[in-house]
A and B are shown apart, each in its own frame.
Chain A
Amino acid sequence: MKQSGVSEYISAVKEESIDCRDYIERLIVQLRKENSKLELFSKLHEKPVCNPEGALASLPFTVKDNICVEKFPTRAGSKILIGYQPPFNATVVERMNTAGAAFIGTTNMDEFGFGTFCTNSAFGTPKNPFDNSRSCGGSSGGAAGSTAILKHHVALAESTGGSISCPASFCGVVGITPTYGRVSRYGLIDYANSLDKIGLMGRSIEDIAIALPTISGPDPRDFTSMIQPPLTLRDEKIESIAVPRELISEGTDEKILKMFWNAMEKLKSEGVVVDEVNMPVLKYSIPAYYILACAEASTNLAKFCGIRYGKEGSQLENMYNTFFTEVRTDAFGVEAKRRIMLGTFARMAGYRDQYYMKSLRVRRKIIEEFGRLYESYDLIASPTMPLLPPKFEEIADMSPASVYALDFLTVPPNLAGLPHLSMPMGYVGDLPAGVHFIANHWKEEKLISVGRIWERGMEYRFPLNLEGRS
Chain B
Amino acid sequence: MMRIGLEIHVQLPTKSKLFCYCPNAPSDEPNMNVCPICLGMPGSKPIVNERALALAAIAAKTLNCRLLDRTWFSRKTYFYPDLSKNFQITQFEAPIGIEGFLDISERRVNIWRIHLEEDPARAVHELVPEQESALLDYNRSGVPLVEIVTAPDMDDPTQAREFLRVMLSELRYVGVVLEEEELKIRADANISVTDGERVEIKNITGLKNLEKALDFEYGRQNKVSKVGIEVKRETRGFDEERGVTTALREKEEEQDYGYIFEPDLPIYDLKGLSLEITFPKTVTEKSQEIEKKFGLDSQNVKALLLDSKPLGDLLEDMAERVNPKRVIRWLNTVVKAEHYRHPERKLNEIANKLERVIAADASEKISDVVAKQAIRKIFETGESGKLTELKSDEGELESVIIDILKEKPELLEEIRKQPKAINHLIGSVIKKTEGRFDSKKVGEAVRKEIEKRKLQ
Q: Is A401 part of the contact surface with B, judged by Cβ < 8 Å?
A: no
Docked complex Cα distance between A69 and B264 (Å): 21
Q: Contacts A185-B45, A309-B42 given: A316-B263 contact, CB under 8 Å?
A: no
Q: Is B272 part of the contact surface with A, judged by Cβ < 8 Å?
A: no
Across the interface, do B260 and A347 meet the contact criterion of CB distance under 8 Å? Answer: yes
Q: Inside 8 A of B77's CB, which chain A residues have their CB? A: 298-299, 302, 347
Q: Contacts A192-B263, A348-B258 given: A86-B85 contact, CB under 8 Å?
A: no
Docked complex Cα distance between A344 and B36 (Å): 25
In this complex, how many residues of chain B approach chain A with their Cβ under 8 Å: the count is 32
Q: Inside 8 A of A381's CB, which chain B residues have their CB? A: none
Q: Inside 8 A of A221's CB, which chain B residues have their CB? A: 45, 47
Q: Is A397 part of the contact surface with B, judged by Cβ < 8 Å?
A: no
Q: Contacts A299-B87, A302-B87 given: A86-B81 contact, CB under 8 Å?
A: no
Across the interface, do B260 and A68 meet the contact criterion of CB distance under 8 Å? Answer: no
Closest-by-CB residue of B relative to A307 is: B81
Docked complex Cα distance between A344 and B79 (Å): 13
Q: Is B14 part of the contact surface with A, judged by Cβ < 8 Å?
A: no
Q: Contacts A192-B263, A222-B45, A348-B258 given: A302-B85 contact, CB under 8 Å?
A: yes
Q: In the complex, which residues 118-160 of chain B have their Cβ closer than 8 Å to any Cβ of chain A?
A: 132-133, 136
Interface centre among B44, B75, B254, B265 (most CB of A within 10 A): B44
In this complex, how many residues of chain A approach chain B with their Cβ under 8 Å: the count is 47
Q: In the complex, which residues 47-73 of chain A have their Cβ closer than 8 Å to any Cβ of chain B?
A: 67-68
Q: In the complex, which residues 346-399 of chain A have their Cβ closer than 8 Å to any Cβ of chain B?
A: 347-349, 352, 356, 360
Q: Inside 8 A of B44's CB, which chain A residues have their CB? A: 88, 186-187
Across the interface, do A223 and B256 meet the contact criterion of CB distance under 8 Å? Answer: no
Q: Contacts A296-B263, A320-B81, A348-B256 given: A87-B36 contact, CB under 8 Å?
A: yes
Q: Inside 8 A of A249's CB, which chain B residues have their CB? A: none
Across the interface, do A295 and B86 meet the contact criterion of CB distance under 8 Å? Answer: no
Docked complex Cα distance between A190 and B40 (Å): 12
Across the interface, do B42 and A299 meet the contact criterion of CB distance under 8 Å? Answer: no
Q: Is B80 part of the contact surface with A, judged by Cβ < 8 Å?
A: yes
Q: Inside 8 A of A220's CB, which chain B residues have their CB? A: 47
Across the interface, do A352 and B258 meet the contact criterion of CB distance under 8 Å? Answer: yes
Q: How far is the CB of B194 from chain A (nearest CB, A)?
A: 30
Q: Is B43 part of the contact surface with A, judged by Cβ < 8 Å?
A: yes
Q: Inside 8 A of B71's CB, which chain A residues have their CB? A: none
Closest-by-CB residue of B relative to A227 is: B266
Q: Inside 8 A of A408's CB, which chain B residues have their CB? A: none
Q: Is A35 part of the contact surface with B, judged by Cβ < 8 Å?
A: no
Across the interface, do A320 and B263 meet the contact criterion of CB distance under 8 Å? Answer: no
Q: Is A7 part of the contact surface with B, judged by Cβ < 8 Å?
A: no
Interface centre among B39, B77, B256, B260 (most CB of A within 10 A): B260
Closest-by-CB residue of A relative to B265 is: A223
Docked complex Cα distance between A86 and B35 (Å): 12
Q: Is A224 part of the contact surface with B, judged by Cβ < 8 Å?
A: yes
Q: In the complex, which residues 65-93 of chain B have their Cβ closer than 8 Å to any Cβ of chain A?
A: 75, 77, 79-81, 84-87
Across the interface, do B264 and A222 meet the contact criterion of CB distance under 8 Å? Answer: yes
Across the interface, do B43 and A90 meet the contact criterion of CB distance under 8 Å? Answer: yes
Q: Is B48 part of the contact surface with A, judged by Cβ < 8 Å?
A: yes
Q: Inside 8 A of A68's CB, which chain B residues have their CB? A: 42-43
Q: Inside 8 A of B133's CB, which chain A residues have their CB? A: 316
Q: Contacts A299-B87, A302-B87 given: A188-B260 contact, CB under 8 Å?
A: no
Q: How far is the CB of B364 from chain A (nearest CB, A)?
A: 64
Across the interface, do B264 and A86 meet the contact criterion of CB distance under 8 Å? Answer: no
Q: Inside 8 A of A67's CB, which chain B residues have their CB? A: 43
Q: Inside 8 A of B265's CB, which chain A residues have their CB? A: 223
Across the interface, do A81 and B263 meet the contact criterion of CB distance under 8 Å? Answer: no
Q: How far is the CB of B151 from chain A (nearest CB, A)?
A: 22
Closest-by-CB residue of A relative to B85 is: A303
Interface centre among A76, A193, A317 (most CB of B within 10 A): A193
Docked complex Cα distance between A90 and B40 (Å): 15
Q: How far is the CB of A243 from chain B (nearest CB, A)?
A: 31
B79, B85, B254: the one within 8 Å of A320 (CB): B79
Closest-by-CB residue of A relative to B132 is: A317
Q: Is B41 part of the contact surface with A, judged by Cβ < 8 Å?
A: yes
Q: Is B259 part of the contact surface with A, judged by Cβ < 8 Å?
A: yes
Across the interface, do A186 and B43 meet the contact criterion of CB distance under 8 Å? Answer: yes
Docked complex Cα distance between A11 and B397 (Å): 107
Q: Contacts A68-B43, A224-B264 given: A303-B256 contact, CB under 8 Å?
A: no
Q: How far is the CB of B28 from chain A (nearest CB, A)?
A: 22
Q: Inside 8 A of A224's CB, which chain B residues have their CB? A: 264, 266
Q: Inside 8 A of B39's CB, which chain A residues have their CB? A: 308
Across the interface, do B263 and A193 meet the contact criterion of CB distance under 8 Å? Answer: yes
Q: How far is the CB of B52 from chain A (nearest CB, A)?
A: 15
Across the interface, do B260 and A295 meet the contact criterion of CB distance under 8 Å? Answer: yes
Across the interface, do A223 and B42 meet the contact criterion of CB distance under 8 Å? Answer: no
Q: Is A449 part of the contact surface with B, judged by Cβ < 8 Å?
A: no
Q: Contacts A302-B77, A303-B86 given: A86-B47 contact, CB under 8 Å?
A: no
Across the interface, do B258 and A86 meet the contact criterion of CB distance under 8 Å? Answer: no
Q: Inside 8 A of A308's CB, which chain B residues have their CB? A: 39-41, 84
Q: Contacts A68-B43, A86-B41, A309-B42 given: A303-B84 contact, CB under 8 Å?
A: yes
Q: Is A99 part of the contact surface with B, judged by Cβ < 8 Å?
A: no
Question: What 0/1 readout, one digit per residue, does chain B (165-179) give for beta carbons within 8 Å of chain A?
Answer: 000000000000000
Across the interface, do B75 and A299 meet the contact criterion of CB distance under 8 Å? Answer: yes
Q: Inside 8 A of A316's CB, which chain B residues have their CB? A: 133
Q: How far is the CB of A311 from chain B (nearest CB, A)?
A: 13
Question: What 0/1 readout, one digit per residue, does chain A (72-83) give for beta carbons within 8 Å of chain B?
Answer: 001010000100
Q: Inside 8 A of B45's CB, which chain A residues have their CB? A: 185-186, 193, 221-223
Kindly list 4 other residue pairs between chains A and B, CB separation below 8 angstroms, not including A299-B258, A349-B258.
A74-B43, A86-B36, A88-B43, A190-B42
**In the complex, the 8 A-B pairs of residues with the closest C-beta atoms, listed nearest first:** A302-B86, A194-B263, A193-B263, A347-B258, A68-B43, A187-B43, A189-B42, A303-B85
> Could you name 13 residue pairs across A and B whose Cβ atoms are closer than 8 Å?
A189-B43, A190-B42, A192-B263, A193-B45, A193-B263, A295-B260, A299-B258, A303-B40, A303-B87, A304-B42, A307-B136, A320-B80, A344-B258
